[in-house]
Amino acid sequence: MPKFVIEREVPGAGNLTDAQLRELSQKSANVLKGMGPEIQWLHSYVTGDKVYCVYLAPDEATVQEHARRVGIPCNRVSAVRRMIDASTAE
């Protein structure tokens, strides 16, 4: 299944409390359950004013629909073409 990186502009994201992040995560997970197994949230990175999420989904429209249902921004969706890491240099 295709992998996507989603950039979300969330002012003050890095200052959200554990409870706030848990609440947002639970809301997202509940929406995902309702959408079925074709979309999966792998993980997210929280920075100062942005959240970068990695999802598996059939297409960008499905990622956008999830964001709409949760009520969270989805400012940029990028399809992952390849993945590299330190082992790529070996």
pLDDT value, residue 30: 97
pLDDT value, residue 50: 98
The domain containing residue 60 runs over which residues?
Answer: 3-89
pTM: 0.92
Query: DSSP letter string over 17-58?
Result: -HHHHHHHHHHHHHHHHHH-TT-EEEEEEE-SSEEEEEEE-S
Give the CATH number of the domain where residue 26 resides.
3.30.70.3090
Q: Domains in the chain: how many in total? A: 1
Q: pLDDT band at 44, cuts 50/70/90?
A: very high
What is the rounded distance in angstroms from the CA atom of residue 78 to the CA atom of residue 11?
A: 21
Angle between helices 18-35 and 60-70 (to 10 degrees): 130
Mean pLDDT, the chain, whole residue set:
97
What is the rounded distance in angstroms from the CA atom of residue 41 to the CA atom of residue 29?
A: 8
- The dihedral sign for the CA sequence 27, 64, 59, 9: negative
Q: What percent of the chain has pLDDT over 90?
A: 100
